[in-house]
Amino acid sequence: MQARLELKSVRDVDADAVVVFAFEGQPPALAPAALTEELYSSAEFQGKSCQTALLYRPEGWRAKRLLLIGCGKPEEFDGHALRAAAGRAARLLKERRVSHVAFAAEQPWRSAETVSALVEATLLGAYDPDLYKTDPEKKGTPLGSVTVIAEGAGEELQAAVERGSILAECQNFARDLVSEPANRLTPGKLAERARAMAEQEGLSCEIIDESRLKQLGMGALLGVAQGSEEPPALIVLRYSPETESTDHLGLVGKGITFDTGGISLKPSEHMDEMKFDMAGGAAVLGAMRAIARLKPSIAVTAFVPAVENMPGGKAQRPGDIVTTLSGKTVEVMNTDAEGRLIMADTFTYAQKLGCTHLVDAATLTGAIVVALGHVYTGAFTNDQEMLNRLLEAGKAEGEKIWHMPLDEDYAEQLKSPYADLPNIGKRWGGAITAAYFLKQFADPVPWVHLDIAGTAWTEEAKPHMAKGPTGVGVRTLARLAADWQS
């Protein structure tokens, strides 16, 4: 979708629809006063969050439609309210097969940050995971272009429009990957998609195959893969800045392309959603695509261990013991706690390649959903400064992240009489013990773990977003790299 900036009057913009933001108790000054005052006085439209009023052929305007979109109380207006309103407008207009939509970016809330967020939210709101639908009537018509109207502004907002477009396109790229069914996106196919993206964006790409994984000694990763006919792959993408970087950021994304649970088989209900278990890997790939375009000053290497977890005749069993790349041994008490196994080996490999800081994104535990629901991503860390960097990036990009504990007390749950540690603790605090397991392989480098199991997809459509994958993490990870100060 094309995104551009217009510095003219909102009345002079030729578009299929112009969107004006409205607040409770405040008819928007840009819209025709006679129309808006009547809407407000009749209570037909009051400016409440995501409330809409669509007007046709407003007098004196070049646009075919005027859409008022509610943003709630003006004193509560923030990035989240802006994103929700813009996404809702995009979805409503897409349903009406609008091709060109323009948004009025008004003072006093207009800034580079809000303009970027406006473009992001529009492109994200217009997304539908309907690649495999064949009926044109049931397949959405994509928006062709979005314009930000900023009368009186300078050309400096053009960079914000471009940045918002980049981040949204890369997030939608991640959503496309997560939407793919497991028969069409095996570990090998995911590696092919990553290589094609890397070639397109100028990133270096290495695919480490099963033979090389055995030579390296990644016993934990290979143990998960051995039950599947599909061979595993470790995807490694590298971004090198123009000037030398002392810090080296490693991004690790869980890439289980389908998770049956292995021998510890999952219930059949909702198992179809386990094609989403590579959402962390997709987020990392989407972030790398954005990083390649934004060109930050820090070196970034991404790692996506791509594996299928199946209950085949060669599958690992509860009670098996594997030796990780670090040399530590792990007793596999539950084969459905597989993500932490593939990531443990990947953490060690990332450090061997010189990564000085690590962030991972993984649909790791159902326990994080119990703790935080589907609103916040859980964050765990061994380094408060590193976490602060990430939380600032997430706040700037409108992604909600909550700091979770990682005390030594939880180590008591990770003891095995047969190996250095088991791959699962007791029932309570499961998201924490999973993170504590990962910490054993992340130390000593500064590290943040993002458990996105509750935020990687939505089970129901929202007013501003389609049902399905969200692409969570892409913007935060890209922002973390872009704003990095050594």
Whole-angstrom Cα Rg for the chain: 24
Report the C-alpha gap between 428 and 359 in whole angstroms.
25
Q: In what order do the strands lie in the sheet with 145-149?
A: 2-6, 145-149, 100-104, 17-22, 65-70, 52-56
Report the C-alpha gap between 330 and 310 in whole angstroms.
19
Query: What is residue 459's DSSP assignment?
Result: S
Looking at 310-455, which runs of residues are DSSP E strands? 320-323, 329-332, 357-362, 377-381, 401-403, 421-422, 447-451
Residues 451, 365: contact at Cβ < 8 Å?
A: yes
What is the chain's length? 486
Of 163, 340, 389, 475, the catalytic one is: 340
Instruction: Please report the DSSP string for 266-317 in residue order.
Output: PPSTTGGGGGGGGHHHHHHHHHHHHHHHH--SSEEEEEEEEEEE---TT---
Report the C-alpha gap between 363 and 384 in whole angstroms.
22
Residue 91 falls in the annotated catalytic set = no
Conformation bin of residue 72: beta by default, left when phi > 0, alpha when psi is -120 to 50:
left
Of 64, 195, 266, 462, the catalytic one is: 266
Residue 295 falls in the annotated catalytic set = no
Residues 164, 111: contact at Cβ < 8 Å?
A: no
Active-site positions? Answer: 266, 340
